[in-house]
């Protein structure tokens, strides 16, 4: 199922058929440098994919496949994760792309489309991103989609920055 389309990408539901392409992306240590769990094996990606497919049913949202229109390749994910920060339930915009596609503004394009989908179609009013302070690229994406550095926190004892945006912040 298609979620959104931008000039260069399509965002759609993942399917089981995405397993191999997603596994290749999430096995790359460079792509997984800023990740609490590190590079993923096929088995770990399979389990992630199962959780993602279940989340479409249970929560009506989840992580979506980012497909590059030019070559029709799966190049990563962008979408929603349920989080708990300082005892509060939050919905995170999460994004991760294959490194060959970095630095072209594609993550920003995907994250903007997901932000707009959240506020206009899902009725959400607040989104956060949890970002390690050294993850400059991700911080730039958060900035460019209008998120603000709201506070600092810790996850599993790791310092993280919490970026946030409210529906009313988007003009
Ligand atoms: C974070 C990520 C999604 C960004 O994807 P992307 O498509 O490169 O993002 P964009 O091209 O839209 O924007 C990247 C920004 O970082 C900047 N950037 C690129 N290389 C950089 C570098 N080496 N150092 C600092 N900034 C850099 C770009 O210039 C751009 O900012 P600008 O538009 O102001 O110039 C991608 O790097 C990624 O998947 N990283 C691994 C997963 C991850 O960390 N996800 C986020 C977890 S919080």
Give the tens place of pLDDT for each residue, 53-103: 999 999 999 999 999 999 999 999 999 999 999 999 999 999 999 999 999
Q: What's the CA-to-centroid distance between 108 and ligand 1, angstroms? A: 8
Share of the chain above pLDDT 70, in %: 100
Q: What's the CA-to-centroid distance between 100 and ligand 1, angstroms? A: 12
Q: What is the overall mean pLDDT for the chain?
A: 97
What are the pLDDT digits (tens) for 32-59? 999 988 999 999 999 999 999 999 999 9
Integer Rg of the chain from CA: 15
Mean pLDDT within 8-30: 98
> Residue 151 above 90 pLDDT?
yes
The atom of ligand 1 lying closest to the CA of 96 is 39
Q: How far apart are CA 2 and CA 10, in angstroms?
A: 7
Ligand 1 surroundings by CB, under 6 angstroms: 31, 34, 95-97, 102-108, 129, 131, 135-138, 140-141
Contact 141, 150 (CB under 8 A): no
The atom of ligand 1 lying closest to the CA of 129 is 48
Q: What's the CA-to-centroid distance between 68 and ligand 1, angstroms? A: 17
Beta-carbon-side half-sphere exposure of residue 163 (alpha carbons within 13 Å)? 22
Q: What's the CA-to-centroid distance between 139 and ligand 1, angstroms? A: 8
> Residue 171 above 80 pLDDT?
no
pLDDT at 124: 97
DSSP string, 54-101: HHHHHTS--EEEEEETTTTEEEEEEEEEEEEETTEEEEEEEEEE-GGG
CA-to-CA separations, 88 to 60, 82, 83, 133, 149, in angstroms, rounded: 20, 11, 8, 21, 17
pTM exceeds 0.85:
yes
For the chain, which domains are there?
Answer: 2-169 (3.40.630.30)
The atom of ligand 1 lying closest to the CA of 30 is 41
């Amino acid at each position: 199922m298609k979620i959104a389309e931008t000039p260069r990408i399509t965002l759609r539901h993942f399917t089981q058929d995405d397993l191999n392409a997603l596994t290749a992306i999430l096995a790359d240590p460079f792509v997984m440098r800023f990740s609490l769990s590190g590079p993923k094996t096929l088995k770990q990606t399979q389990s992630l994919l199962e959780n993602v497919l279940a989340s479409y049913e249970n929560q009506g949202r989840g992580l979506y496949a980012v497909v590059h229109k030019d070559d029709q390749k799966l190049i990563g994910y962008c979408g929603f994760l349920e989080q708990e920060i300082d005892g509060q339930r939050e919905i995170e915009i999460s994004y991760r792309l294959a490194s060959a596609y970095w630095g072209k503004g594609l993550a920003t394009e995907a994250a903007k489309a997901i932000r707009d989908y959240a506020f206009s179609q899902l009725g959400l009013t607040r989104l956060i991103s949890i970002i390690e302070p050294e993850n400059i690229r991700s911080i730039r994406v958060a900035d460019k989609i209008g998120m603000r550095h709201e506070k600092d926190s810790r996850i599993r004892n790791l310092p993280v920055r919490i970026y946030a945006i409210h529906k009313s912040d988007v003009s």
